[in-house]
Chain A
């Protein structure tokens, strides 16, 4: 052995460094959260609802949506000068009537009851159930061409004590 050199060849970790697809981020929840926050620009709540906190209530299990709203809306935004409060409960508290109620698809069976509880109280009722915009919802999330869109029911907005901008008709995928 004349010219001995210690030498090791390293191997690159070529396979499956990225093996897990698990994504901790729910993009659909983000889209819904952005819609919910932005829809407030197109509605006017009754005078009685313009003081105290602006309450957004989520009915059903929607942890990603709640996180989005907490992280980006509740802690950073106000609506009409009101602080935003987020509630996750299946029941409407009569002493804390929400400005917005979003009912998850899995909780759609509660739409009718909740609709009757918030009627004429200045609540924007948002659902995600086929046909709900024709019955109880003011806004109903729908999927068209792989995209989240919404339907709008003007009459229901009036029933719930809200004034709506005419502009929202242009933005909805269907108007009832």
Chain B
């Protein structure tokens, strides 16, 4: 409340040199804040829009900051799921404007606080586009927006852990979707399958660039390659000429062999993880390597018994 009063006082002092015109702007500015506090954001918006357009107050950083807060509330209330929200963009632009007008420390702090929240609003939207609509491009765009905005108020931030979280989530979601397609025996067109597979690979490889021993990414890549090999056989027509069965197997085996080193490395790092051991049994089975398949099957049974 103290700060709230301070800004009013400061604003009144600032506009005090223009007695003929400015009292009306003071009123509007204070009314905007009042409306905002009362959560009447439509009222706050109409008042602050006037303040920031007025020739005598349009260069006032605090007014732009308030505009940013008001517009961000509009984003929250009306466009929370819209990644192209004009209200949010207006809020970002208003903060930029405020910053360009050499704001005092207090206003700067408010700008920084809101920028962080805006950045996180982009991150939050990734969930919608990843889990609901599986829109990879939207996720990348939102994540880049999140990072770019974050960098404006914290230029020294290290995104490594966030990058890992993001790319594991993307890769994991696309692998899960492919697995669901398999499990539910759904038909999927080749281009969709290939697209999902490539996204999963790109995502897991990004994680491995940052953390070469990331078990989840290793496992994810192994599963992705396995799925590619399995998909070739699964989609093979029963009317295929017999001589082509071997060609299809050649293609499938190529992917299955690519899956193996990733799952083996994951196993070296986490030998007691039943999912990884199960992965190895599956890959060796698909490669018709009965000896290895049984070897890992025994390990899996042992691990399951130990867990009980």
A residues adjacent to B (C-beta < 8 A): 1-3, 5, 7-25, 27-28, 30-31, 33-35, 37-39, 41-42, 72-73, 76-77, 143, 145-149, 170-171
Contacts and interface: CB of A to CB of B under 8 A. Distances in A.
Interface of B: 1, 3-4, 7, 33, 36, 65-66, 69, 72-73, 76, 110, 113-114, 117, 120-121, 123-124, 126-127, 130, 164-166, 168-169, 172-173, 175-176, 179, 182-183, 185, 216, 219-220, 223, 226, 229-230, 233-234, 236, 238, 240-243, 245-246, 249-250, 252-253, 256-257, 275-276, 278-279, 282, 285-290
A147 B233 contact: no
Given A30-B233, A33-B238, A146-B256, A5 B69 contact: yes
B249 to A, nearest CB: 4
**Binding site of A, secondary structure by majority: helix, strand, loop or mixed?**
loop
A42 B241 CA distance: 11
Contacts of B223: 18, 21
Contact of B246 (A7, A16, A39, A147): A147
Contact of B114 (A5, A10, A35): A5
Contact of B282 (A16, A23, A171): A23
A149 B288 CA distance: 11
Contacts of B66: 3
Contact of B242 (A16, A25, A41, A143): A41
Contacts of A23: 182, 226, 230, 282
B117 A10 contact: no
B175 A17 contact: yes
B245 A30 contact: no
A168 to B, nearest CB: 8
Nearest to B253: A146
Contacts of A146: 249, 253, 256-257, 287-289
Contacts of B73: 5
B127 A3 contact: no
Contacts of B185: 25
Task: Sort A-B residue pairs by CB-CB distance and give the 6 closest, nearest first.
Answer: A17-B172, A12-B169, A14-B168, A21-B279, A27-B233, A14-B165
A9 B242 CA distance: 56
A35 B172 contact: no
A41 B241 CA distance: 10
